[in-house]
Amino acid sequence: MEGNGFSEREWRNLSVARFGPVPVYNLTFASVRELRGFLEGAPEVREVLKRSENASKEELEQFLNLAGGLQAVNLKATRANVAEPAFVGSRPNVPAYIAGAPKNMYRMARPKEKKVVQVLINLTYSEDTTAGQLRNRGILALNLVRVLEQNGYIVDFRAFEAKFEDNAVYLCEVMLKKPGGKLNPESCYYPLCEQLILRHAVDLLQRMSRLAEPEEASYGRLSGGKLAELMLLNRQWKISSGKGASPEPAAAKEKPGRRQIFLGTPQSMGIEGRNIFRDADSFLRSLRLGDMIMIPKYESEEE
């Protein structure tokens, strides 16, 4: 790294704002590849990443296999719900024909209007969290993205980690899937399940903040997703947000109609870390998305 330990490109990933009286240092990465490039610029982190990835290849294979099992249930549920009764269609509805019903054919259901849903996963977890819970949370986050897309939504999927220390907030965010982009489960595995990746980024962010000159930083009010994230974090940190710092108007003004789904600790979403199908049912129940999507039943489909 160059210039006080960090390159010009890395400084461009940094922004500074205020949440009430508290400074918020924020590192944002447009992709997992960009995040990795940032971390590999620090020799001490580069070696840790290399050892971690070499040791977790078997876990990655298990992760992808379990994710594939859920996707098989998703596809079955989708096929069962893409056809609707109609006067004309591509195949007959035999029971309706026998009963003399006018809509005795099946046709493909008309797609819903495309809407953007932002899925934000807070990677912070408690000390009693097991490796199985972290793995299953990562799988279920990816599965949620797939289910939303299969129900006609455009998904903006991001992971973040933050901490409040020395009266400042350090927030790191990485884009895991851009709206309209393709989901890459293998790329997502390391940020979601190898938690040290974003934790190292937050540690490096603290180093950067000590080098940043306040008069040169770009300060401003947080709005939209960032403010909503900090309001969520504020439930635990008890940060005074200041007058008029409500996230709803800012979010509505910035991107009308965008819905946000926050994913928290495994325990808060009923994830036990053992049976992925049972955890999938608990996870979706905890999110209460019945008004948005057709929810598959996973445990009943387990072979």
Per the CB < 8 A criterion, the answer to whether 103 and 96 are in contact is yes
Query: Which stretch of 47-51, 96-100, 107-111, 150-154 has the lowest confidence by average pLDDT?
Result: 107-111
Residue 115 backbone dihedrals phi, psi, to 5 degrees: -130, 150
Question: H or E element: which one contains 165?
Answer: strand 153-165
Say how far apart CA 221 and CA 227 lie, in whole Å. 9
pLDDT at 139 (0 to 100): 95
d(CA 56, CA 131): 12
The answer to whether residues 50 and 56 touch, using CB atoms and an 8 Å cutoff, is: no
What does the mean pLDDT of the chain come to?
75
Q: What is the DSSP letter of 217?
A: S
Is residue 132 very low, low, confident or very high in pLDDT (cuts 50, 70, 90)? Answer: very high
pLDDT (0 to 100) of residue 254? 38
Residue 2's pLDDT is what? Answer: 45
Q: How crowded is residue 160: how many other Cβ atoms within 10 Å of its Cβ?
A: 23
Split at pLDDT 50, 70, 90, the class of 27 is: confident
Give the pLDDT confidence score for residue 229 in this predicted structure.
Answer: 63
How much is the pLDDT for 252? 33
Cα 10 → chain centroid: 23
Range among 75-84, 85-94, 168-177, 254-263 rated most confident? 168-177
Three-state SS at 148: helix
Is the CA virtual torsion 288, 120, 159, 189 positive or negative? positive
With bands split at pLDDT 50, 70 and 90, how would you rate the model's confidence at 221?
low
Contacts of 71 (CB under 8 A, 6+ apart): 143, 146
Please give the pLDDT value at position 228.
55
CA-closest candidate to residue 191, choices 140, 138, 143: 138
Average pLDDT value for residue range 23-28:
84
> Sheet of 168-177: strands edge to edge?
14-19, 22-29, 168-177, 153-165, 115-122, 259-263
Cβ proximity of 97 and 85 under 8 Å: no
Instruction: Provide mean pLDDT across the span 185-210.
Output: 81
Most confident of 44-53, 94-103, 228-237: 44-53
Round to whole Å and give the CA distance between 107 and 92. 9
| More reliable by pLDDT, 277 or 253 | 277
Q: Which residue has the higher pLDDT, 280 or 54?
A: 280
Average confidence (pLDDT) over 7-30: 77
CA atoms of 256 and 91, how far apart (whole Å): 40
Token pair in block for residue 138: 């990562």
So what's the pLDDT on residue 1? 43
pLDDT in tens, 55-72: 677 888 889 999 999 988
Residues in contact with 233: Cβ distance below 8 Å, sequence separation at least 6, in sequence order:
122, 162, 164, 169, 239
**What pLDDT is stored for residue 235 in this prediction?**
61
DSSP letter, residue 221: B
Sign, CA dihedral 50-56-58-61, equals negative
Please, what is the Cα angle at 23 between 244 and 250, to 5 degrees? 35
**Share above pLDDT 90 across residues of the chain, in percent, rounded to a whole number:** 23
